[in-house]
A and B are shown apart, each in its own frame.
Chain A
Amino acid sequence: MSDTPWIVAAEIAPPVQRARRWLAPPTIGRGLLAWVVPALLLVFWQIASSVGWISDTVLPSPLKVAQAGWTVAKSGALFENVEVSFLRAMAGLVVGGAIGFAFGLANGVSKLSEHLTDSTLQMLRNIPHLSLIPLVILWFGIGEEAKLFLVALGVFFPIYLNTLHGIRTIDPQLLEMGKSYGMTNSMLFMRIILPGAMPSILVGLRFALGIMWLTLIVAETIASQSGIGYMAMQAREFLQVDLVVFSILIYALLGKLADSVARFLETQCLKWHPSFQSGPRA
């Protein structure tokens, strides 16, 4: 053994992890690390406002924004408006998402259905849905229907496209195996098609959540009598810049919340997927 020392060296050598250790922070701090940059930005913003680099009429200091937030929160207007916006977003997501999912499934499973509807849907997809706002206002006025329609239309396409894509890219070998092992159509769907398409469907959901907030903000800002966007527009009328900034922050927070929910769904539904497994792999 002594004349072949490299064999010994190879056996003792630790698994290749060195490069990673440099970059990866200690495990406790990893969650906090994401907040370092926002916190620094906030501190810089506060200092810049206090020193007078940024005028209050352009961008009020974080403290003033927080004060404005506290005032609307105390009056109860904040929660009322957030609730209204949240319910609108969810209603649009449920309606548009369900229709998109249904079309995606139907067109993924049935060739007839795909020939019948896919090219029409692809044509409609190329119309920016926000360009319909004038038409929607003419149709529905500025009531709830207008916002529901726009949000539903916005979330329909990402969910539809990704569901369809997920079903189309299912491994045909698995389907053949299922058929050969005597699976009925409903079993094929529940055990192979749906779980196989799930990663793609969840990607669609994440896109849809982004579009959902975007659509709602635009719709509420242009034509609304309640909601966060309406709150921001009201504040603009009275030159309350701090309240406008606060409304924008609320949108950011809600967007982040929606993204976290989507992430949570991914880790729950895709436990089997190697990219979502934390343990060692063979």
Chain B
Amino acid sequence: MSFADTSAPAEARAAPLPDFEAQFRAPPASGVSLTLRGVVKAFGPRTILRDIDLHIPGGQFVAIVGRSGCGKSTLLRLVGGLDQSTQGQIVFGEGEPRTAGESPVRVMFQEPRLLPWANILANVEIGLGAQRKTKLARERARETLHAIGLEERGAEWPSVLSGGQKQRVALARALVSRPRLLAFDEPLGALDALTRIEMQQFLEKIWLRDRFTALLVTHDVMEALTLADRVLMIENGSITLDLAIDLPRPRRRGSVDLALLEERILKRLLRDETNSPEYAI
């Protein structure tokens, strides 16, 4: 295992076949912390991320906002292991830099990316990775389907589901392995307004239950403020705002506190290239 593990015994984790039954009965592991040190990402001559330093404590819900093309999705892809950084280190837990192998991170994409030829239950089982074939895999997949309210539809094809339901299955697939860090790449971007709100409440509920570390990339400032403990803003490849949102949950949409914060962030986002550090924290 490439990351330091603080909750489970190291030898059990390092074994070639994890003791799945024990893992199934045990309460879910809490979130893993994430540290980025001097991370740079460049595509050819174009530098997308410049020298990002960031520490996210385990279990925190962090939202990243920014204009399109600012590098927020690139940052998420680096954390999710979909791309390699040009320079710098990405560390999970308090251990050494991450190498290949079973990752503590699960990524949820903007599109559901369900396999159309596998039924809904089988799609959820994909999230179990190598544990897929163990005895309790099906039970666990069923349990997760139950949590998203689609347990009756496990045998159906994904093509019969609505957009919101598909995204819920994608969430179940991400959750089923009980990841310690869940990275969301605008997962609700393609949904209609009502389904979005429903899914936001659902996400919050799941996060409060499982307490994984959450990294949410979004262009919707209100979504970030409703869900996150902390909002980061990325401009031109650097983090230019790091704002703790210390409001009680569940947050009421349209409350004055949220509206004021939203205005503040939107003003900053919409302002052109001038960057006097008015709201630096």
* C-alpha spacing A173/B107, complex, angstroms: 12
A191 touching B159 by the CB < 8 A rule? no
For residue A272, which residues in chain B have a CB less than 8 angstroms away from its CB? 116-119, 157, 159
Known: A180-B81, A195-B117. A281 touches B109 (CB 8 A): no
How far apart sit A182 and B103, CA to CA, in the bound complex (Å)? 8
Interface size class of chain B, counting residues whose CB lies under 8 Å from the partner chain: 20 to 34
In the bound complex, how far is the Cα of B103 from the Cα of A273, in angstroms?
32
The smallest beta-carbon distance between B76 and chain A, in angstroms, is 12
Would you call B159 and A277 a contact (CB within 8 A)? yes
Binds A, one of B24-32, B126-134, B211-219: B126-134
A182 touches B130 (CB 8 A): yes
CA distance A85 to B111 in the complex (A): 51
From A174, A180, A271, A281, give the contact of B115 (CB < 8 A): A174
Nearest residue, chain B, Cβ from A195: B117
CB of A116 closer than 8 Å to a CB of B: no
Looking at the assembled complex, report how far the CB atom of B161 sits from the nearest CB atom of chain A, in whole angstroms.
6
Nearest Cβ distance between residue B37 and chain A, in whole angstroms? Answer: 23
Measured in the bound complex, the distance between the Cα atoms of B241 and A123 in whole Å is 60
In the complex, are the beta carbons of B107 and A180 less than 8 A apart?
Answer: yes
Interface centre among A178, A182, A191, A271 (most CB of B within 10 A): A182
Please state if A181 and B106 are interface contacts (CB–CB under 8 Å): yes
Q: Is B160 in contact with chain A by the CB < 8 A criterion?
A: yes
Scan B87-127; emit 1 where CB is below 8 A from any A CB, else 0.
Answer: 00000000000000011001101010101111100000011
Interface residues of A in 147-206 (CB under 8 A from B): 173-174, 176-183, 191-192, 195-196, 198
| Chain A residue with the shortest CB-CB distance to B160 | A282
Is A15 at the interface (CB under 8 A from chain B)?
no
Complex Cα gap A181–B126 (Å): 7
| Interface SS majority for chain B | loop
Name the residue among A173, A177, A179, A192 with the largest chain B CB count within 10 angstroms. Answer: A177
Query: Within the assembled complex, what's the spacing in Å between the Cα atoms of A270 and B119?
Result: 12
Residues of B within 8 A of A279 (CB): 160
Interface string of A118-162 (1 = CB under 8 A from B): 000000000000000000000000000000000000000000000
In contact, A191 and B107 (Cβ under 8 angstroms)? no
Beta-carbon nearest neighbor of B101 in chain A: A182
Known contacts A181-B106, A191-B126; A196 and B159 CB within 8 A of each other: no
B118 near A191 (CB under 8 angstroms)?
A: yes
Flag whether A52 is at the interface (Cβ < 8 A): no
B157 and A277 contacting across the interface, CB-CB below 8 Å: yes
Give the residues from 46 to 83 in chain B that come closer than 8 angstroms, CB to CB, to chain A. Answer: 80-82
**A169 CB, nearest partner CB in chain B, Å:** 14
A173-B129 contact given A180-B80, A277-B157, A282-B160, CB 8 Å threshold: no
Q: How far is the CA of A179 from the CA of B81 in the complex (A)?
A: 10
Within 8 A of B (CB), among A192-246: 192, 195-196, 198
A76 at the interface (CB under 8 A from B): no
Is there a chain A Cβ closer than 8 Å to B274's Cβ? no
- B255 adjacent to chain A (CB < 8 Å): no
> Given contacts A180-B80, A182-B130, is CB(A192)–CB(B159) below 8 Å?
no
Residue of A nearest to B81 (CB): A180
Most chain-B CB neighbours within 10 Å: which of A173, A174, A176, A180? A180
A281's contact among B106, B127, B160, by CB below 8 Å, is which? B160
Interface check B162, CB cutoff 8 A: yes
Residue of B nearest to A178 (CB): B126
B157–A181 CB distance below 8 A:
no
The residue of chain B having its C-beta at the shortest distance from the C-beta of A174 within the complex is B113
Q: Is the CB of A195 within 8 A of B159?
A: no
Interface residue? A274 (CB, 8 A): yes
> Once the chains bind, are A274 and B159 in contact (CB under 8 Å)?
yes
**Would you call A177 and B117 a contact (CB within 8 A)?**
no
Given A176-B82, A180-B107, A282-B115 contact (CB < 8 Å): no
Residues in A with CB closer than 8 Å to B157 are: 271-272, 277
Complex CA distance for A173 and B127, rounded to whole angstroms:
16
Ordered by A's residue number, 30 sampled pairs between the chains whose C-beta atoms are within 8 Å are: A173-B109, A173-B111, A173-B113, A174-B115, A176-B113, A177-B109, A177-B113, A178-B126, A180-B81, A180-B82, A180-B107, A181-B127, A181-B129, A181-B173, A182-B129, A182-B130, A183-B126, A195-B117, A196-B117, A272-B118, A272-B119, A272-B159, A273-B116, A274-B159, A277-B159, A277-B160, A279-B160, A281-B159, A281-B160, A282-B162
Nearest first, the 6 A-B pairs at minimum CB distance are A182-B129, A195-B117, A177-B113, A272-B117, A272-B157, A274-B159
In addition to A181-B129, A198-B117, 18 A-B residue pairs with Cβ atoms within 8 Å of each other are: A174-B113, A176-B82, A177-B109, A178-B126, A180-B81, A180-B107, A181-B126, A181-B173, A182-B102, A182-B129, A191-B118, A191-B126, A195-B115, A271-B157, A272-B157, A279-B160, A281-B160, A282-B162
B positions within 8 Å CB-CB of A: 80-82, 102-103, 106-107, 109, 111, 113, 115-119, 126-127, 129-130, 157, 159-162, 173
